[in-house]
Amino acid sequence: MDILARIQAASITAPCLAPQHHHKHLQQLCFPMSTGHHFSCFYMHQNHFPVAMPGHPCRIPSGSIRCQSGAVEAPEMQDVKFSKSMLSFDMGKDRLSKVPASQIRNFSIIAHIDHGKSTLADKLLQVTGTVSDREMKEQFLDNMDLERERGITIKLQAARMRYVAKDGEPYCLNLIDTPGHVDFSYEVSRSLAACEGALLVVDASQGVEAQTLANVYLALENNLEIIPVLNKIDLPGADPERVRNEIEEIVGLDCSEAIFCSAKEGIGIQEILESIVAKVPPPKDTSMNPLRALIFDSYYDPYRGVIVYFRVVDGSIKIHDKIQFMASGKEYEVDELGVLSPGQMQVNELFAGEVGYLAASIRSVADARVGDTITSSANKAGMALSGYQEAVPMVFCGLFPVDADQFGELREALEKLQLNDAALKYEPESSSAMGFGFRCGFLGLLHMEIVQERLEREYGLNLITTAPSVVYRVQCADNTVVECSNPCELPEPGKRVWIEEPFIEMITPKEYIGTLMELAQERRGEFKEMKYITESRASVIYILPLAEMVGDFFDQLKSRSKGYASMEYSLSGYRKSDLVRLDILINGEPMDPLAAIVHKDKAFAVGRALTQKLKELIPRQMFKIPIQAAIGTRVIASESISAMRKDVLAKCYGGDISRKKKLLKKQAEGKKRMKSVGRVEVPQDAFMAVLRLEKEVV
């Protein structure tokens, strides 16, 4: 039985154990401390976490830890030996042990996508014995299906590892994984804030990429000790020396001690572990201060409420403590406390410097948002930890259930996702053509796509999404400024003085400069500057309306560079643009969900493309249907679908009406899936196709 399974099994059977065991087998263990520091004593109880212990009469002893901190006599060698042999005998329990702050190293891994972050994390778990070879799943930390499929990390996780360093001391290493996408930069920054150090992983053949830069800057902002690691040195194209220079030049990091590694082949892993111990500063031991813990992640568990991942910054947190979340003000009692290794393992108390999780029957992640500070209700901290931000959605789109009956389910699903994703914003929206749905705000495109996919995959919803849009600022004639993301809410042309739209700055390394420039040029991009870092490396900065990027920009960029191009973007502010609202009318009825805010120069092309697509996809009906694209009252493109001429079944041979009925019922089913726009029935896939097209052409 593997450790995790055993622990889980034990926690279920624990209440069955006889109470007399409770104190009888109490055993004192001492953990070796680095000299001159505090000591903690551990009392192991028999009533939790049975772990096989050699030479002990009870074959199922426990691993629940109660800690006492304070100065204690130095342990005798015998005890040390015992604890060591025991710990090496059975992994898992050791990781629950209280460790003095000086023995803790909290670090994360930052890397560009595909540079091997997850592989390295896996290897660290394996080498430290945190996860046995057998239970090793590929990319252990990315435990959402979606993440695994896309090879990206969306929600971060943490892992507590025990590592006995060359100096003979056991260390507690907490790896805090970070999401790997710019949409989640706030979450990345909070995870980084929970660490003292970071491994900067760079592909030894590909070198510094856009994301590498973005993350390094985040890490530096958080004052982290950065350990450069050159990964994939085993690959034929690897040129670690060149890449090392590149890091020094671009990032300005001292790479003299950069570690050459191949996570895949297990090369350099030991060096990395040693380097973490040696270079990453231990957390400050501020256990005596009032509790302050930084939430770096949280997720909703249907049985236990929100599970909060946190790093104790000051003080300590015990099971059954009354705690308060300083930003939301909500109070809860801790039901469950533990560490992640990487499975959840319960402990009774966590101290400053440690990383763990808690459950407190919290209803929603909004009550315990990433970046919020946990404090003790009884002994409140004076000030929350800095850096908390409300999430600001950048990209919006409408989500409508294909089947109107699913509206309730969609609302519930969004509520549930929001329990788990405080950055997700939504409000009800209704449209004549699409019925009831929600206008949702997302951190960025990936976030949007992920939410959509999770709604469809995890909640079995069938959704129509409108083309994503950004937040426009409209200067009105009455001197007010209206912010709007929904084309339908754009003030009338007569009331507008001008429209401003958000612009972004994009940065990309030299290889993709051509591709990016070409693409940006087509999309109202504006060249800003080209930086030559070395002779062979340069990066280009472009300014582009965000709206131009929310469509299929990434897809295009990837396909034009055979999947290799990388870029980063950041919001650079609002600027005036010559924008108009393009309406699509079917049989004279405006189709709200297809309305779009487009640049005047593109309106004709977009209008033509959309009307043609609709003509192709809307089946003939009993009357002629005009399809128009219009700016205000001016029609700029127009098509029409001629009336249906014939739809009749010939004969019921020998009275066989069943087949005929089946056909008619199928036809009726098809109609149910159509959306009525006035009298016109528009098939769902026509909507989707047009919305897809809109993402491309708008």
- Tell me whether residue 1 or residue 648 sits nearer to other proteins (CB atom): 648
180 annotated among ligand-binding-site residues: yes
133 annotated among ligand-binding-site residues: no
Other CB atoms within a 10 A radius of the CB of residue 252 amount to 10
373 annotated among ligand-binding-site residues: no
Strand runs (DSSP E) across 96-206, as ranges? 104-111, 158-164, 170-176, 197-203
Residue 488 · residue 595 · CB < 8 Å:
yes
- Tell me whether residue 213 or residue 617 sits nearer to other proteins (CB atom): 617
Count of residues in the chain = 698
Going by their DSSP bridges, the two strands 104-111 and 197-203 should be labelled as: parallel
Residue 201 · residue 111 · CB < 8 Å:
yes
177 annotated among ligand-binding-site residues: yes
609 annotated among ligand-binding-site residues: no
CB of 591 to other proteins, least distance (A): 20
117 annotated among ligand-binding-site residues: yes
- Measure the CA dihedral 693/149/237/228, to 10°: 110
181 annotated among ligand-binding-site residues: yes
CB of 628 to other proteins, least distance (A): 22
Question: Which residues, 6+ apart, have CB-to-CB distance to 656 below 8 Å?
Answer: none
Nearest partner of 41 among 63, 60, 69, judged by Cα: 69
Question: How far from 612 is each of 44, 110, 259, CA to CA, in Å?
Answer: 74, 46, 57
- Tell me whether residue 134 or residue 645 sits nearer to other proteins (CB atom): 645
Strand runs (DSSP E) across 587-662, as ranges? 589-590, 596-599, 625-631, 634-641
60 annotated among ligand-binding-site residues: no
Q: Which residues here bind other proteins, judged by CB under 8 A?
A: 620-623, 644-658, 660-661, 663-665, 667-668, 670-672, 679
- Tell me whether residue 494 or residue 654 sits nearer to other proteins (CB atom): 654
Residue 451 · residue 427 · CB < 8 Å:
no
CB of 663 to other proteins, least distance (A): 8
CB of 198 to other proteins, least distance (A): 58
CB of 130 to other proteins, least distance (A): 54
CB of 452 to other proteins, least distance (A): 28
- Tell me whether residue 71 or residue 649 sits nearer to other proteins (CB atom): 649
| Cα R_g (the chain), whole angstroms | 30
Residue 606 · residue 698 · CB < 8 Å:
yes
- Tell me whether residue 363 or residue 679 sits nearer to other proteins (CB atom): 679
CA pair distance 105, 124, nearest whole angstrom: 14
Secondary structure of 332-351 in HEC code, one letter for each residue: EECCEEEEECCCEEECCEEE
- Tell me whether residue 488 or residue 617 sits nearer to other proteins (CB atom): 617
Question: How far from 574 is each of 25, 359, 425, 508, 546, CA to CA, in Å?
Answer: 68, 42, 22, 22, 10
CA pair distance 554, 693, nearest whole angstrom: 15
178 annotated among ligand-binding-site residues: yes
116 annotated among ligand-binding-site residues: yes
- Tell me whether residue 383 or residue 652 sits nearer to other proteins (CB atom): 652
CB of 584 to other proteins, least distance (A): 23
662 annotated among ligand-binding-site residues: no
CB of 653 to other proteins, least distance (A): 6
Which residues belong to the annotated binding site?
111-118, 177-181, 231-234
Which residues belong to the annotated binding site for GTP?
111-118, 177-181, 231-234
